[in-house]
Chain A
Amino acid sequence: MSEFLQAIAQGVLIGSTYGLLALGMGLLYGVSGVVNFSHGDFISLGMFLCLALYSALSLDPYVSVFITVPVMMVLGTLVFRFLIRPMIGHQFLMIVQLTLGLSLVLQNGILMVFGGQPARTPSVVESKLMILGEVVLRVPHVIAFGVSFALAIGLFIMLRSTDFGRSIRAVHQNAHAAALMGVDVGRVQVLTFALGIGILAIAAALLLPGTPIQPTQGLRYTIITLLVVVLGGMTNFVGIMLGGLVIGISEAFGTIYLSNTLGALMPYVIFVLIMLFRPQGLTWSSSR
């Protein structure tokens, strides 16, 4: 029984961060129709930047995040302006291939600078544990959960109550009409992308403590995010957060009850089952 609870707890904690990652991707897709297949490699970049800051300045990831977020957002803005924006409106698969090329560049850029050996970035809280009844929780995971949830709520409020959030939703629902109202669609797109990258940078710092990192892990994160986004109906806020939890929990169950390789299949299996029987995903009535 305690294994079961452990799996659920772990799944929920990690799943909330997966949901957060997927929100960034979903927002970008909503305003531009672009799916960024180098999503996971940006996470990777965020993690390695934290590692570099630790090696150079002994900064804990939870501190260096204040540096990595603006740096990554600037980088993201440049990438969007020069690589992605020229491609908007072109064939979807072509844009995907471009982001895959970007993935290669990021991944191997990291490889060239940091080498291929798995590395760890120590953090003050890394080995601390929190015990709730029968369940043992790692403090970094609890922090990840708290921050992810808070950020998700923040995003939700932003979308509902600010002009920027309303412009994002307007561009998603009808870009032409939004432009006619004076919304600068291009600016909304680049800001949404930068916002997504900023979220990735934060998530990277959250996922980092205690996790050995490698340059080639990007694809794994990209696929997980894709699974979550599609499960969530691409642009449905609640659906995506739910999808994150589902994937997180299936992954946790997989790794706790099955071997590592088979365990990694669990999210796929659950994904296939859900999408087969509910092709619209986990969308929650009114999609915002």
Chain B
Amino acid sequence: MLEIENLVAGYGGVEVLRDVSVKLSAGEIVGLLGANNAGKTTLINALSGMVAPMSGRILFEGRDVTRLTPRQRVELGIVQVPEGRLVFPEMSVRENLQLGGINARAKPNRSRQMEAVLDLFPRLKERLSQDAGTLSGGEQQMLAIGRGLMAEAKLLMLDEPSLGLSPLFVKYIFDIVDRLHAEGLTILLVEQNLMLTLRHAERCYVLERGQVAIEGPSDVIKDDPRTRSAYLGL
């Protein structure tokens, strides 16, 4: 479904990703691991169209999307749930969700989709009129994921969903992730939390200094000593 070929990308002329190639099949849940500045968020932003690649290609469902705008990518179904949630603080939960479904493909089904999302996150249903800025970290994460789902994603990219959350919320969120995966959603999971990712993702890529250092099924990677060293930047 998704093919990234030899991607080179960065900011202001400085390369962050050097020759990265990643593949995802429909329905998979793939993890993207790596230490802090390995390039995980840059890769996700390149997929979302927020960073223009210096060279390389991105193919989605067979189409070359490398030159498409962020809006076009969302309309194709490539949706990012950003690091730090980034909910719209002075808009209500309802408005945040409505905005999630603003793209042309999702808009016709918006009310139905909203019901589905609220069924998935009953806590949000209780807080529909509350300003998103007043929600707790966990609730904001729910809202951010809900917002992403409103966009009718075909590929959902989660950037550090466990960041700053209590263990209880982390479990809750990842139960939801499993559930979405079971329903057939393709998920790219970017996480700092090694164990968590290996447990929920079928396959993983480990980025080190802008390149793919290790890739493979999670249980194989788990026992690979190189993983830990790449991870700790040793």
Q: State A177–B144 Cα separation when bound (angstroms).
A: 10
A83 at the A/B interface (Cβ < 8 Å)?
no
Does A179 lie within 8 Å of B88, measured CB to CB? no
Render B68-82 as a binary contact track against A, CB cut-off 8 A, 1 for contact: 011101110001101
The 8 Å CB contact of B82, one of A169, A170, A177, A286, is: A177
Q: Mark B40-60, 1 if CB is under 8 A from A, else 0.
A: 000000001010000000000
Say which one of B29-37, B97-105, B212-220 lies at the interface with A.
Answer: B97-105
A166:B99 contact, CB within 8 angstroms: yes
List of A residues within 8 angstroms of B9 by Cβ: none
CB of B207, distance to nearest CB on chain A (Å): 21
Contact B131 A286, beta carbon cutoff 8 Å: yes
**Does residue B108 face the partner (Cβ distance < 8 Å to A)?**
no
Interface of B (DSSP majority class): mixed
CB pair B98–A166 under 8 Å, yes or no, is: yes
CB contact under 8 A between A170 and B91, given known A176-B82, A181-B147, A181-B151: yes
CB–CB B74/A181 < 8 A: yes
Query: What sequence of 0s and 1s flags, for each residue 170-188 of chain A, a beta carbon within 8 Å of any chain B beta carbon?
Result: 1001101111111110000
B-facing mask of A263-288, CB < 8 A → 1, else 0?
00000000000000000000000111
The answer to whether A134 has its CB under 8 Å from any CB of chain B is no
Chain A residues 149-206 with CB under 8 Å of chain B are 163, 166-167, 169-170, 173-174, 176-184
B-chain residues with CB within 8 Å of residue A180 when the two chains form the complex: 48, 50, 70, 74, 79-80, 82, 86
What's the least CB distance linking B117 to chain A, in Å? 14
Bound-state Cα–Cα, A180 to B147, Å: 10
B202 is an interface residue with CB less than 8 A from chain A: no
CB distance from B225 to the nearest CB of A (A): 36
**A169 close to B91 (CB less than 8 A):** yes
Q: How far is the CB of B16 from chain A (nearest CB, A)?
A: 17
Question: Is A163 a contact of B102 with CB atoms below 8 Å?
Answer: yes
Q: Which residues of B contact A173 (CB under 8 A)?
A: 88-91
Report whether over half of chain A's contact residues are helix, strand or loop; otherwise say mixed.
helix
- Bound state CA distance, A179 and B103, in angstroms? 11
The tally of residues in B whose CB lies under 8 Å from a CB in A reads: 27
- In the complex the two chains form, what is the Cα distance from A15 to B103 in whole Å? 38
Report chain B residues within 8 Å CB of A167. 99, 102
Determine whether B95 belongs to the interface, using a CB cutoff of 8 Å to chain A. Answer: yes
Among A163, A176, A177, point to the contact of B87 (Cβ < 8 A).
A177
Asked if A287 and B90 make an inter-chain contact with CB atoms under 8 angstroms apart, the answer reads yes
A91 to chain B, nearest CB (A): 16
Which one of B50, B100, B131 lies within 8 Å of A181 (CB-CB)?
Answer: B100
With known contacts A180-B74, A180-B80, A181-B74, A286–B100 Cβ distance under 8 A: no
CA A100 to CA B131, docked complex, whole Å = 38
| B102 & A179 in contact (Cβ 8 Å cutoff) | no
Pick the residue among A177, A182, A184 that contacts B88 (CB under 8 A).
Answer: A177
The complex places the Cα of A178 from the Cα of B88 at a distance, in Å, of 9
On whether the beta carbons of A184 and B95 are closer than 8 Å, the reply is no
Distance of A173 from chain B, by nearest CB (Å): 5
Known contacts A179-B50, A180-B48, A182-B75: A174-B99 contact under CB 8 Å: no
Determine the chain B residues whose CB is within 8 A of the CB of A288 once the complex forms: 90
Q: Assess the A178–B99 pair: CB atoms within 8 A.
A: yes
Chain A residue with the shortest CB-CB distance to B50: A179
- Tell me, rounded to whole Å, the shortest Cβ–Cβ distance linking A149 to chain B: 24
Alpha-carbon gap, A180 to B103, bound state (A): 10
Query: What's the minimum C-beta distance from B87 to chain A, rounded to whole angstroms?
Result: 7
Contact of B102 among A176, A177, A182, A286 (CB under 8 A): A182
Q: Closest chain B residue to A173 by CB distance?
A: B88
Considering residues B48, B70, B80, B103, which has the most beta carbons from chain A within 10 angstroms of its beta carbon? B70
Cα A182 to Cα B90 with chains together (Å): 19
Q: Which of A169, A176, A182, A183 contacts B50 (CB 8 A)?
A: A176
Q: List 22 A-B contacts (CB under 8 A).
A: A163-B98, A163-B102, A163-B107, A166-B91, A166-B102, A169-B90, A170-B91, A170-B99, A176-B50, A176-B82, A177-B87, A178-B88, A179-B50, A180-B48, A180-B79, A180-B80, A181-B74, A181-B99, A181-B102, A181-B151, A182-B70, A182-B73
In the complex, besides A174-B86, A184-B69, 9 extra interface pairs with C-beta distance below 8 angstroms are: A166-B95, A170-B99, A173-B91, A177-B86, A178-B99, A179-B71, A182-B102, A183-B99, A286-B90
| Chain A interface residues toward B at CB < 8 A | 163, 166-167, 169-170, 173-174, 176-184, 286-288
Which 9 pairs from chain A and chain B are nearest by CB? A182-B74, A182-B103, A177-B86, A173-B88, A184-B71, A179-B70, A182-B71, A180-B80, A170-B88
